[in-house]
Structure 1
Amino acid sequence: MPKALVLAGTHSGCGKTSVCLGLLRALARRGLRVQPFKAGPDFIDPGLHAAATATPSHNLDTWMQPEAALRVLFARRARKADVVVVEGAMGLFDGRGGADEAGSTAHLAKLLGLPALLVVDAASQARSVAALALGFSRFDPDLRLAGIILNRVGSDRHEAILREALASGLPVLGCLRRDASLTLPSRHLGLVTAADIGAGIGADSAALEHILDALADWVEQGVDIPALLAALPELDLSTFPTMEPASALASPVRIGIARDRAFCFLYEENLRLLEAAGAELAFFSPLADAELPEGLGGLYLPGGYPELSAPALAANAPLRAQVRAFCASGRPVWAECGGYMYLLESLTDGGGVAHPMCGVLPGRAVLRTKRAALGYREARTLLPGPFGPAGTAVRGHEFHYSEHEGEPEQPAYALTASDGAETLDGQAVGNILGGWLHVHLASNPQAAQAFVDAARRC
């Protein structure tokens, strides 16, 4: 039975991801099998987790994924591990809205029966940290807090004051010193991806490994890892469901999936659900490949950072022509966010330069300096298409700085936000479904089956 914890934070920016990456790498360096997870809809942190542990990280989201499916996914991966670490999202109690716990890290920890370890930004705090800890420990009596890791501690004297203030409260399981050199690089949409750090964006080719090892050294200096592991209870997975979806009996069909530095926002569970529906996944790079994989029945263009690779995408005219011809063939195409931008006529980058894209759907994607949309979305399709009949319901998340300019075709989705606001999203043309929405297929596995079946029919 593995040891397991949820690493949570008091708020976004408290250093939770740095602590998590350092802990993951430190555990992996000890020869332990470490299974990382990420709470919420984030795509970037799981890529960094995978780099730290050499193990794919999976998203766990209590709003986008049904409870049973979430628990099955968690148990499937946790059974192979010695230690399970779930990185939280935002602050411990932050979720879809302010009225309830849906989508929050606290909700996820209770659903899985895991203790939460709270990362507290102790910079510029002394005794007040005790009041903060007391509030978090009492806010939800059903949540089990294992203790606190104090981050950005300034000195020995600062640490002594903090420990004195917390002496009668939650146990302090680590004190991490402030170190500006350990800052993770960031940009719009969040941290720089593992692929871009590793490719030497602003650094040499060994940048990512250097950062991960430095974070592990930092965590090992401030956290007694053997004592932390000893304090964690073993996770009894016998209470988790083991039900798996039935394997598809029909012959497999190849689905082409864009995956490179420009298209790197994929839920690992989406890929598994497509395979369970009968898909053979064929990955390709719109940046580097001149041709699509052979024998494709369908095409999936996920999100990512096409705006940062727009010149290279535009320069690969042979692949853009192949995508355009594939879309004209009537075979199903699913494009979301960055993939949707790729199907438009052009993409205007942050410097105001327009780059030609595939020209499959009318209009232009234009990168803005301010965020265009952020939040969970309930969606229903407006026309029959790759996900099945009109009215097919899915859940997902929207987060982008780019906007569509021009006259769109028929919208793809009707979206409902957390506050009840309703909007239209994307475009649906023939068997092409494109929009800004990142869909989690666990919210409706029949959509995955419909997409694969549509590819098989073609």
Structure 2
Amino acid sequence: MANRPKKLPKALQKLSKPRVDHIPGLVIAAPASNSGKTVVTLGILRALANGDIAIAAAKAGPDYIDPAFQHAASRRRCINLDPWAMTQDAIRDLARWHIGASAGALPDGQSDGQSDGRFVLCEGVMGLFDGAAGGGGSSADLAAMMDWPVVLVVDVRGQAASAAAIIQGFANFRPDVRIAGVILNRVGSPRHRDMIMEACARAVPDIPIIGAVMRSNDLALPERHLGLVQAGEHPELEVFLERAGAIMARDIDLDALLGLVRTQGTDHGRVAGTNGNDGTNDTDGDHGRDHLPEAGSQVQDQAVAPKDDGAAVSRYVERFAQNNANYAAPVTIAPLGQHIAVARDDAFAFCYPHLIAGWQAAGAKISLFSPLANEAPPQGCDAVYLPGGYPELHGAVLAAADCFLDGLRDAARRNLPVYGECGGYMVLGDCLVDGDGISHKMAGLLPLETSFHQRRLHLGYRLVDIRQQCPLGNVGAVLRGHEFHYASTIRADGEGWLNARTADNRDLGPCGLQKGSVFGSFFHLIC
């Protein structure tokens, strides 16, 4: 590797003060799905967590499964930030709360391991510029909305100089989106890496290559019909995360990645790879290309610049977390009640943290219970929430869970709101047919029969208009969320309490069922 010059270019030698309204964060994105950005993100989160660097992990879009893995990797809560479903103010409030939630809880900003960190590291969704039909909802939209730099993870299998063309095209596609760094993924050899870096040095000299992750069979996670298996079902998750963390610490310049956060929100933050302020830094015009770790080596002191450079911005990031330590989660949806029983186990795992935190911020008490453990909704609750998940994989267990099912029926008899989403909706019905064609009797609170034996994909963002009064809103109110399942409806008697539209406003007609205080649909509520 070449030696680094001792000075920055003159245009980059002065670091301005950070903007006082800026929320620190960055987005890890890719040109397309299946580029490996999830595993790269998980490895980065674990490597930083092992280095006692607190990060507020987030996932762009409506995904449920990746955030559970990020929670495990970072040892902290992960939230969803959805630029299609959420307003800019809601996203800013969520990010501010997410960063500040634990900063003031313990002395010197120490974390209790359960809450959040100093800046948001957000994994993107699909390709960087891919969003909903009709526009909006892309990772690029989120990055532009929050003025967060983007680290692009590029799968370089089967290409060399072409990777530089991809990076150049992405860097020039939208002027309001800044590709601040690149991680080459699935690199075949040191020679392969060098060929790509030489091409990038010519095509995109202002964008730093901050990592080159070597191809490895050790970086694979199993998948299911909705994506990855759930984090709790991975038998050796900790082993995998430690392995991924070690590989990312070896192959990615993590100090350079952190340096991208230190430069954002400043007058010069639009220039990639800069974090010095006195002209004595040893970063050159290649912005870190020449100090990537050799394949198989350990990263040691590989920073773009010494850690005390950009001190003004670093102090701002620290102060931001401390100043927002008591910032309340935004209430995007009014709580179902004042004491809400929330089902939580492997059959009912698809629940957005921001909804629960918002309900708590509004004064509601949350009590968790496990239907798979045959637990009834806790005594004293005045509402029940059954999120989505994989009930079809546990049909026999749920059908035999008499305490759970009787508890739901008792809540309905007492006229308590009982709300089910997707899998929770199916459990409220009369029966559920699993993938093997076996029918399982469910709660019988809604005139509904569903089947996974007759599979059909339902996917996409949804706008839903409330047609019947319910605890989620008044008639005419519009809710935003998404639908993602393979179930088919065999029978649904009654008029839908919602009317659904696609993201591009195509009418899908009535959906969902409501009977007394029991209501639900395949719609996953975001806000």
TM-score, structure 2 normalization:
0.77
Deviation at 1:3, TM superposition (A): 6.0
Deviation at 1:276, TM superposition (A): 2.7
What SS does the aligned partner of 2:525 have? strand
1:220 and 2:305 aligned: no
Deviation at 1:83, TM superposition (A): 4.3
Q: Distance in 2 between matches of 1:217 and 1:130?
A: 27
CA offset digits 1:155-193 (Å, max 9, x no partner): 122112111111131321110111123111111111011
Q: 2:419 aligns with which of 326, 334, 338?
A: 334
1:183 and 2:217 aligned: no
Please tell me the residue identity of whatever aligns with 1:106. Answer: A
CA offset digits 1:400-444 (Å, max 9, x no partner): 01121113222121001023321222111122221000011xx3x
1:230 and 2:316 aligned: no
Q: 1:94 aligns with which of 122, 125, 130?
A: 130
Taking a change above 3 Å as real, the CA distance of residues 282 and 430 of structure 1, as seen in their structure-2 partners, is same
1:32–1:83 CA contact under 8 A, matched in 2:
no
2:382–2:417 CA contact under 8 A, matched in 1:
yes
Instruction: Name the residue aligned to 1:6.
Output: 27
Instruction: Name the residue aligned to 1:138.
Output: 172
Instruction: Name the residue aligned to 1:385.
Output: 470
1:282 and 2:367 aligned: yes
* Stretch of structure 1 that moved more, 72-81 or 208-217: 72-81
What SS does the aligned partner of 1:12 have? coil
Q: 1:106 aligns with which of 133, 140, 143?
A: 140
1:410–1:429 CA contact under 8 A, matched in 2:
no
Instruction: Name the residue aligned to 1:203.
Output: none
Please tell me the residue identity of whatever aligns with 1:270. Answer: L
2:67–2:80 CA contact under 8 A, matched in 1:
yes
What SS does the aligned partner of 2:175 have? coil
CA offset digits 1:288-318 (Å, max 9, x no partner): 0333201111111111111111121112122
Instruction: Name the residue aligned to 1:151.
Output: 185
Instruction: Name the residue aligned to 1:448.
Output: none
1:334–1:386 CA contact under 8 A, matched in 2:
no
2:94–2:330 CA contact under 8 A, matched in 1:
no
Instruction: Name the residue aligned to 1:451.
Output: none
Instruction: Name the residue aligned to 1:57.
Output: 78
Q: 2:240 aligns with which of 211, 236, 239?
A: 211
2:437–2:453 CA contact under 8 A, matched in 1:
no
What SS does the aligned partner of 1:213 have? helix
What are structure 2's unaligned runs of at least 5 residues? 1-17, 104-116, 266-316
Deviation at 1:67, TM superposition (A): 1.1
Deviation at 1:370, TM superposition (A): 4.7
Deviation at 1:399, TM superposition (A): 0.3
2:24–2:148 CA contact under 8 A, matched in 1:
no
1:255-274 matches, cutoff 5 A: 255-274=340-359
CA offset digits 1:269-300 (Å, max 9, x no partner): 11022223331101101100333201111111
1:431 and 2:517 aligned: yes
Question: What is the count of residue pairs matched by the alignment?
Answer: 427
Deviation at 1:229, TM superposition (A): 1.8
Q: 1:22 aligns with which of 43, 55, 62?
A: 43
Deviation at 1:389, TM superposition (A): 2.5
More strand by share: 1
Instruction: Name the residue aligned to 1:173.
Output: 210
What SS does the aligned partner of 1:167 have? helix
1:274-313 matches, cutoff 5 A: 274-313=359-398
What SS does the aligned partner of 2:92 have? helix
2:157–2:188 CA contact under 8 A, matched in 1:
yes
Instruction: Name the residue aligned to 2:312.
Output: none
Deviation at 1:84, TM superposition (A): 2.7
Instruction: Name the residue aligned to 1:419.
Output: 504
What are structure 1's unaligned runs of at least 5 residues? 201-206, 444-458
CA offset digits 1:223-244 (Å, max 9, x no partner): 1212322343256677999687
What SS does the aligned partner of 2:476 have? coil
1:62–1:70 CA contact under 8 A, matched in 2:
yes
Q: Distance in 2 between matches of 1:63 and 1:275?
A: 24
What SS does the aligned partner of 2:120 have? strand
1:40–1:61 CA contact under 8 A, matched in 2:
yes
CA offset digits 1:45-89 (Å, max 9, x no partner): 111111111111010011111111110110122234234311001
What SS does the aligned partner of 1:347 have? strand
TM-score, structure 1 normalization:
0.88
Taking a change above 3 Å as real, the CA distance of residues 369 and 124 of structure 1, as seen in their structure-2 partners, is farther
2:90–2:330 CA contact under 8 A, matched in 1:
no
CA offset digits 1:377-403 (Å, max 9, x no partner): 110111112223222211001000112
1:411–1:428 CA contact under 8 A, matched in 2:
yes
